[in-house]
Structure 1
């Protein structure tokens, strides 16, 4: 027993000496207690505080003037857009409008403003005025309002309701006589008065929606007015010649 205890003491002393000879990296660090946790109040107190930014002063008058100016610009742009739209619509609508006028009105309109505006010419087809030129596939006739005669040229076949001595409505534009048309010698004496003019009516369509007795109200009123003028002129000439015969 004594021998065993002595061996145990020797082995223990040997272990202690061996442990003292080991490097410090293999040694167990001494126990150190962890620092106490900081409280939430201490953390908030030590946090960095950002100073609030100063508020800018707003000029209410300048802001109101800015809003008023913006509103005025909005109204101006809206009104300009609407005005432009109305002008475009009216121009297109005016281009599509077709007016009824007489030969006298057509010549006056052409003399003041020789535009290529399309309109409808109404009047009576002069009897014996329908001819077919040999050089071109066109038909030529005279429309009159009893005061003014105008040459009408139309390329195509005339409708069945077309009659000489009856009313007619043609649609087209007024054009000046070309040298080729002027050189054409017409044997029709009825068209001499109309051929002395500087222009003629180039018809694109001869309307045949109604019978030969149909006439627009404007044209009918103008022809009735011209009839009264002719009757008054004839009565005045008869009255002027009456004293001479007596």
Structure 2
């Protein structure tokens, strides 16, 4: 009796619905496989080490996940989302199918936009760390703003690209980008005029080399051995202490090279 009722239920369900259910099941399976494969691939190419220390990774860890897990999950959900669209098309549910068909063309762009945003956030965080490390020894007050400018510039570009993927007008994006670059150059020139001055002086010192690494010089009241010099600063060591002078200070106050 029960077998007969089951057979009647199976026969009552249209064949296309069984295909739709099968498509959903396969989509779920392939989505899981994609997630596992993507996680292993990202780990193999060194993504965990690359994002270590970034704000995004720290935030992900605080909620019990990681950047790799988030990216792998997005890939898995993307595959399952495609399966949902395919299942709806197979089921031929008129109004639902029309809706999902309209959305289906938007899914790849949305997927790319999300990946671009995450990549932009990770890259921005990493660049902030690198810039902070590079300019750690520069004793100019405005230098602390440079890592943030680098970070949010990358965020901004990633956001523009992501918006372009989801259909925001390109002309508006170009205008916004132009306004951002103008503001960055204008305000940056005002805020970092001392840094630009140090860079210009550093170029002069590197080209003419009035002193070089190993020379003993005196800048103001400090006399010591030049340990390092680059475009922006000169490192002078005396009695185990290292002094970092902006090149603009060396040029403005003058220096004395001590001949041995």
- TM band (smaller chain): under 0.3
* Higher fraction of helix: 2
* Higher fraction of strand: 1
Higher relative contact order (CA 8 A, sep 6+): 1
Give the TM-score of the pair, scaled to structure 1: 0.24
Rg (Cα) greater in structure: 1
Give the TM-score of the pair, scaled to structure 2: 0.23
